[in-house]
Amino acid sequence: MLKSEKYPHPLSQANFTQLNDDEGGLNLGQVGAVLRRRLLLIGGTTALVATAAVLKAETDPPVYQGTFDILTKPVTGEDKALANIPQTLSNQAPPESTKDVQTTITVLQSPRVLNPIVEKLQAQYPDLTYDILVYYLKISSSKPNILNIEYTNSDQKLVSDVLKLLADAYLQYSLQERQSDVEQAIKFVNQQKQPLVKGLKYWQDQLRNLRLDNNLIEPAQKAQELSTQIATLRQQRIENRVQLEQMVAKYEELQKELAQEPGERAGNSLLSDNARYQKILDQIQAADIAAKQQSAVFTDENPAMVTLRQKKEYLLPLLAQEESRVQKDFQSRIRELSARDRALDEKINNGYSEVRKLATISRNYDNIQRELQIANEALTQFTTKQQSLQIEKAQKQQPWLLLDPKLTRVNEPLAVSDSAKRNLALGGLLGLLLGIGTALVVDKLSNIFYSSQELKDATRLPLLGIVPLRKELEVATKDNLSRGVQNSDGASFFEVFRSLYTNILLLGSDTPIRSLVISSAGQGDGKSTIATQLAQAAAAMGQRVLLVDANLRAPSLHNRVGLMNIQGLTDVISQDLDWHNVIEPSPLEENMFVMPAGPIPPDSVRLLASQKMHNLMEELQVSFDLVIYDTPPLLGFADAYLLAANTDGLVLVAGLGKLKRTALQQALEQIQISGTPLLGLIANKSKDAAPVSYQYYQQYYKQSVSGEKVSAEKVTANTNSSYLSKTKRS
């Protein structure tokens, strides 16, 4: 199986045409970045246009300007008099809005108002026309109810004459409009007043008829009287029913007493209250007592006993008559109380009927009163407004006022002294807009990648890492990176390459990546620097790394790592030297080895395409954990393609701020045509804000002691070594 088949080709999944499609627009972040990059161009354009505007203002002929202000709604006596009257014409009108002000300004600039002024001035100024007058005339409203009129011209006398005629014309216009408005208002008031008079008379008649038909003056007073009367009747009914119930109870008790024998009734309270009944009963009881006493001496036939019996028999009918009379008396009183209860019920029900009837009458009465009040108030208001309008019509006072009356007599406009300042401001604004537009156009025409986001959006390829711009990379030596004597900034920057190597390892989760080619589309993208730093980072993580300088056309790796280029890759291939005698340990890292390029051959492609080179690459890949080949650029050279075919893939370095879109597109097309496995991209020399991981590591490095850092690095190295050992065994 070929090396190129080990990993899916990212170009087959990428939106390859995106390089051209993305050139159609910029997002807000890109616009901000463009403006920062082209700040000098924007500033220079702004300064140039502003200077030209100031010079033009100084060379133009002097311009004169005259202004005056008009108060369009002064507070008059009539306004104060009508201030407390609601629903008047003045107070009902909504406050003057911006739309109303613009309408007034349009009317003041119309031919109807300005043509008479033009006709008066044409005798002295033949070239003056309505269009010219309007062009130099400016009417604005900076404050409510105040119009500012401004006229500008190079002829000072014309400015003075125009201002005086404008002031007279506008004041006369306001008077005519005022009188016209007043006449229309009077006509409107007269039309509205007649229905109000008829309505008032109608509701007055309705009120009078309601009172006559129902024989009342005030429904509320009548309702109060009915309520008092009903309350009195209800109280009387309650008292009558109490008496009736008591009388019925006594009558029933009387019936029970009458059912008893006369001798048993002596202690009854109802019959004992009757003196006649009690007297007869006493006589009967006395006769019984006497009869019992005489019975002991005389017999029943004794005249004395007969007399006593006759006396008792005579008294018993009288007692019965008295009992009957008492019963009839109770029955009569009960009937009387019942009749009174029925009479009270009837009176109360009649009272409730009158109350319900009065409620309807009261509602009608209130409606009539309300309508009568509304009609009366409306008629009063319209009458007051009619009188005020008639007074105003008789007056000739102009409703608009000049805030500076002297301008109507003598007006000597002053020369405009701030024309240079005005031109400077306008020129500065125009120059700023022009500079921004120029910056955007120039940036788009430059066709260069400036940010990692642009690179990612344009290619849709895996972005393995972002390397910030650091000039000290070009002069890195073993004193600042190899001995662990690193400042926090250098150490945190070196962590970027550790993260980059980790990302490359993750690409080969199924089949470990043992060799790769690092190249770029053109010169100056920093591929050799990236190759050196990546090899150093992998070696620091416990990997046995070989860095091969395969750029046989212009070798430079030996200078970056501080070695001599006496023998190298060229000698191994052309002279059959043992590669063990050519590689040298790097002074930058313990596990890092370097194979220099050696002498520059006459035909580097022949050497790289040879079978010896192929065999050497297979042997190196077995002997080292990672082999990194630094090659010439892709455009114009076949070296990188030849080497990448025998490795696990190609890593393409893109130098931001230098790499053109067309160059990257051409390189990607060649990679796709050749079938070279592309692992991903590295964005180099990024001027964007440092990644969050980069910033976090800086803070962590500053807070950690050196011993903790060394321990962490050893743990990381052991972990990676263990992982790679397991991978080899698998």
- Tokens found for residue 199: 């309505």
In a domain, residue 342? The reply is no
In a domain, residue 368? The reply is no
Average pLDDT over residues 486-502: 69
Pairing type for strands 414-415 and 64-71 reads: antiparallel
Residue 534 and residue 652 share a domain:
yes
Average pLDDT over residues 277-298: 73
Chain-centre distance for alpha carbon 77: 47
So what's the pLDDT on residue 102? 85
| pLDDT at 517 exceeding the cut of 90 | yes
Residue 400 and residue 508 share a domain:
no
Chain-centre distance for alpha carbon 242: 76
CATH number at residue 400: 3.30.1890
pLDDT tier at 730, thresholds 50, 70, 90: very low
Q: How do residues 585-626 score in pLDDT, each as one tens digit?
A: 988 888 899 999 999 998 888 988 899 999 999 999 999 999
Chain-centre distance for alpha carbon 532: 53
Given a contact cutoff of 8 angstroms between Cβ atoms, the answer to whether 632 and 661 are in contact is no
CATH number at residue 10: 3.40.50.300
In a domain, residue 362? The reply is no
| pLDDT at 87 exceeding the cut of 60 | no
Residue 645 and residue 548 share a domain:
yes
Mean pLDDT lowest among 15-29, 107-121, 458-472: 15-29
Residue 647 and residue 523 share a domain:
yes
Residue 648 and residue 517 share a domain:
yes
So what's the pLDDT on residue 492? 59
Q: What angle do CA 212, 217, 219 make, to 5 degrees?
A: 105
Q: How do residues 194-228 score in pLDDT, each as one tens digit?
A: 787 888 788 877 777 777 777 766 777 777 888 88
Instruction: Report the b/e string of 22-43 with b at 16+ CB within 10 A.
Output: beeebeeebeebbbebbeebbe
Residue 720 and residue 649 share a domain:
yes
Given a contact cutoff of 8 angstroms between Cβ atoms, the answer to whether 587 and 540 are in contact is no
Average pLDDT over residues 452-477: 69
Higher pLDDT residue, 423 or 335? Answer: 335
Q: How many CB atoms lie within 10 A of CB 166?
A: 24
Phi, psi (rounded to 5 degrees) for 230: -65, -40
Three-state SS at 412? coil
Q: Which of 480-484, 500-504, 624-628 has the highest mean pLDDT?
A: 624-628
- For residue 109, give the DSSP letter: T
Higher pLDDT residue, 11 or 335? Answer: 335
Cβ contacts of 578-585, under 8 Å, gap ≥ 24 = 579/616, 579/619, 579/620, 583/546
Mean pLDDT lowest among 14-18, 265-269, 274-278, 433-437: 14-18
Which residue reads 């008099």 in tokens? Answer: 81
In a domain, residue 434? The reply is no
Average pLDDT over residues 709-727: 42
Mean pLDDT lowest among 74-78, 303-307, 312-316: 74-78
| pLDDT at 20 exceeding the cut of 70 | no
So what's the pLDDT on residue 59? 66
In a domain, residue 187? The reply is yes
In angstroms, the Cα distances linking 691 to 459, 687, 696, 697 are 21, 11, 9, 10
Given a contact cutoff of 8 angstroms between Cβ atoms, the answer to whether 13 and 461 are in contact is no
Residue 499 and residue 620 share a domain:
yes
Burial label for 95, CB within 10 Å (0-12, 13-18, 19+), is exposed
Three-state SS at 400? coil
pLDDT tier at 13, thresholds 50, 70, 90: very low
Nearest to 466 by CA among 479, 480, 456: 456
So what's the pLDDT on residue 611? 92
- Tokens found for residue 148: 């500012």
Mean pLDDT lowest among 275-289, 324-338, 368-382, 637-651: 275-289
The boundaries of the domain holding residue 586 are 3-25+447-470+490-729
Q: How many Å apart are CA 499 and CA 38, to the nearest integer?
A: 32
So what's the pLDDT on residue 57? 63
In a domain, residue 629? The reply is yes
Q: How many Å apart are CA 360 and CA 298, to the nearest integer?
A: 90
So what's the pLDDT on residue 692? 47
Residue 102 and residue 9 share a domain:
no
Residue 466 and residue 518 share a domain:
yes
Residue 78 and residue 18 share a domain:
no
pLDDT tier at 548, thresholds 50, 70, 90: very high
Q: How many CB atoms lie within 10 A of CB 172?
A: 14
In a domain, residue 39? The reply is no
So what's the pLDDT on residue 395? 60
So what's the pLDDT on residue 486? 45
So what's the pLDDT on residue 686? 78
Average pLDDT over residues 176-204: 78
Residue 512 and residue 404 share a domain:
no
So what's the pLDDT on residue 620? 92
Q: How many Å apart are CA 519 and CA 650, to the nearest integer?
A: 7
Residue 456 and residue 410 share a domain:
no
So what's the pLDDT on residue 722? 43
So what's the pLDDT on residue 363? 82
- How high does pLDDT run on average in the chain? 75
In angstroms, the Cα distances linking 585 to 123, 394, 564, 590, 717 are 103, 114, 12, 7, 19
- Identify residue 143 by its one-letter amino acid code: K
Q: How do residues 557-581 score in pLDDT, each as one tens digit?
A: 888 888 888 889 999 998 888 898 8
Burial label for 16, CB within 10 Å (0-12, 13-18, 19+), is middle
| pLDDT at 40 exceeding the cut of 90 | no
So what's the pLDDT on residue 178? 73
Total number of domains in the chain: 2
In a domain, residue 333? The reply is no
